Chain A
Amino acid sequence: MSKDKKVQVTAIENGTVIDHIPADSLFKIVRILRLESEINKVTFGTNLESKVMGKKAIIKINDRYCEQEEVNRIAIIAPMSIVNTIKNFDVVEKRKVVIPDSIEGFVKCGNPKCITNNEPVKTSFSIIKSEDITFKCRYCEKNTYQSEMILIK
């Protein structure tokens, strides 16, 4: 039996499978989907072989279906991810993630003199979809680029 055919991570009956995550982005996505406080069963796989991406990661969340708004947050980290909805062991829907127009929380403003880095103020950005995704802070009006982006703990 070839390695490709082997099931690398156990299949789930109902829920969401997020595939094509770059292996090094897995833990960022765990954080952005708040999976550390998820009550359903969650399975992670990382450093899995992928013909297209080299090493990939996969996340399986049992018995939970994700809203488009929620999955779009993944796009700011891993725009190539695919979100599969699973019902009765079958993939019933495959969704691409879409970079949202704005995001609240999760991302830290790159400007140390910004109010959001000095007072308990939730961050808020409008997103400019350029080659390097740009986050324009609603408060200090400065740009933070995806290449230098830090997630809020």
Chain B
Amino acid sequence: MEKKNLISITDFSKEEIIRITELAADFEQNPHQKLLEGKVIASLFFEPSTRTRLSFESAMNRLGARVIGFSDTTNTSVSKGETLHDTILTISNYCDMIVMRHSLEGAPRYASEVSKIPIVNAGDGANQHPSQTLLDLYSIKKTQGTLDGIKIMMIGDLKYGRTVHSLLEALSHFNAEFIFVSPEELSMPMEYKNGLTDKGLKFTEKREIGEEINSADIVYMTRVQRERFTDHMEYERVKNAYVLRNSMLANTKENMRILHPLPRVNEIDPDVDSNPKAYYFEQTENGVYTRMAIISYLLGVKK
């Protein structure tokens, strides 16, 4: 069997994305499937991320695999200056799969060229975080019943937010319609908009949330960070325009759900949390089933 990795969302075809959401649904129905008894998976967090690491390790444990690895590089050979090449080559001899997070962009792609076993990217700097995208897609499918023809409003930092870019690329397979709401400085980059135009997909751009929210099936929130602004006065002027409040949801569609990659700071007012349309905490639970699906698919125990 040829080795398969998950480094970037574009590594998976449309059919594979659909298959992962089906497998995630299957694991949610029946989470006790010890398909990986006797397997060892390395969880290598060159950059700490407690939430993502625990979600992955929970998925590995539920599948019956043994987990080895590190949650940061203190007291490892990496802190002594070992190259990524040598670390990956060595550890790939100890296990059946490597899940890794790294602050340097492209590190997992390089690791996949060094390693004989599958690599899963759990985030590389501002580049890719494909398991987040797949769990977002699973959340959309679960709440909307389908991935096809979704109207999605993306709000906040659309320039640097890697999650919105990957989600946009994945949803481009499914005839989605996009509403981009961001400050001018953080608007969706041209290359992504051109990509949508080339595929004949519709999008609109707004500076405020406004009435358009009433037509959305999914509202995808991201955080607008002060550090992203060259002009801090501008940040002060615009920051409140991208905060979601319960009062804005009164006329939204019954099926509409609010997603957020978390952690949230203040971009969703706590008064939204009790609204049944708030879905961001269930979304994290979907992450474990999605990661079980990814791991078992790449190791070939689920086809």
Contacts and interface: CB of A to CB of B under 8 A. Distances in A.
Contacts of B103: 113
Contacts of A138: 106, 109
B121 to A, nearest CB: 11
A141 interface: yes
Given A113-B125, A113-B126, A140 B106 contact: yes
Interface in B88-129: 102-107, 109-110, 124-128
Contact of B128 (A114, A116, A141): A141
B128 A119 contact: no
Contacts of B191: 143
B212 to A, nearest CB: 31
Most A C-beta atoms less than 10 A away, residue of B102, B105, B125, B191: B105
B104 A113 contact: yes
A113 to B, nearest CB: 5
Nearest to B102: A115
A141 B84 CA distance: 19
B85 A115 contact: no
Interface residues of A, number: 16
Nearest to A141: B127
Given A113-B126, A115-B110, A140 B105 contact: yes
Contacts of A113: 103-105, 125-126
A119 B104 contact: yes
Contacts of A32: none
Given A114-B105, A140-B127, A141-B106, 9 more contacts: A113-B103, A115-B102, A115-B109, A119-B84, A119-B107, A121-B85, A137-B106, A139-B107, A141-B8
Interface of A: 111, 113-116, 118-121, 137-143
